[in-house]
Structure 1
């Protein structure tokens, strides 16, 4: 198997962000790499410790997602589970092509989750109660 592509995530508080990706988002941690919860093994996240002062100035704060990943189904249930564990959502959007969510980690690094399938096992999830939910 080839080595995965690594996405570097700059962090000042390694332990806090490690717990977030592992416990809240349930990414799989192997050695020092986090693998996406969709089962993909060709891409991994690697946390890189940077001091807080340099994180604010060099490189400039990101205003776009660092990475995105695709779910195949059960998007609303997935988002609901993440919220119950404390995930920070910027937005969740339902549009004619599927679903989109924008999330942030504890240090403000943003990422996206997408799903092109409206199939849902748990019909009891009510996204209209979420303040960040929009339907187009």
Structure 2
């Protein structure tokens, strides 16, 4: 039985199988009962893919490219992003700023989401992000 879901985020997709594989295999979100759960262990937020017609999707407000959701990880941000990149995650930006880290990613259909971290700690040493084309430091 699922825990009480307080927030369900609907993600519009036209290629359900492709996006389903991306969230499950590339991003390693947990799939349970047709819902995805964030990799940070939160069980009160779930994502649901909703199939929409590709032609209507292109002309709808869904294509405005604003983040659909964001989530927080507590440490190892650069290692986490490096791992996602090695599996094919599409990053729009990765930013280091005085308050921590921020990244914006896209799924295969252009739905954007964000990852945040307020901690610079890396348990096993951080990869060097300076060679990532999307990396900026402020």
- When normalised by structure 1's length, the TM-score is 0.96
Relative distance call for 1:28 and 1:54 in structure 2 (3 A) is same
Alignment partner of 1:61: what SS?
helix
Alignment gaps of 5+ in structure 1? none
- When normalised by structure 2's length, the TM-score is 0.95
Q: Name the structure 2 match of 1:131.
A: 133
8 Å CA contact 1:62–1:109 kept in 2: the answer is no
2:79 to 77, 99, 122: 77
8 Å CA contact 1:12–1:49 kept in 2: the answer is yes
RMSD: 1.0
**Cα distance, 1:3 vs. partner?**
2.8
Separation in 2 of the partners of 1:124 and 1:39?
A: 22
Q: Where does structure 1 differ by over 4 angstroms across 4 or more consecutive aligned residues? A: none
* Number of matched pairs: 136
Alignment gaps of 5+ in structure 2? none
Question: Deviation digits for residues 8-28 of structure 1, max 9, x if unmatched?
Answer: 000000000000000000000
8 Å CA contact 2:77–2:122 kept in 1: the answer is yes
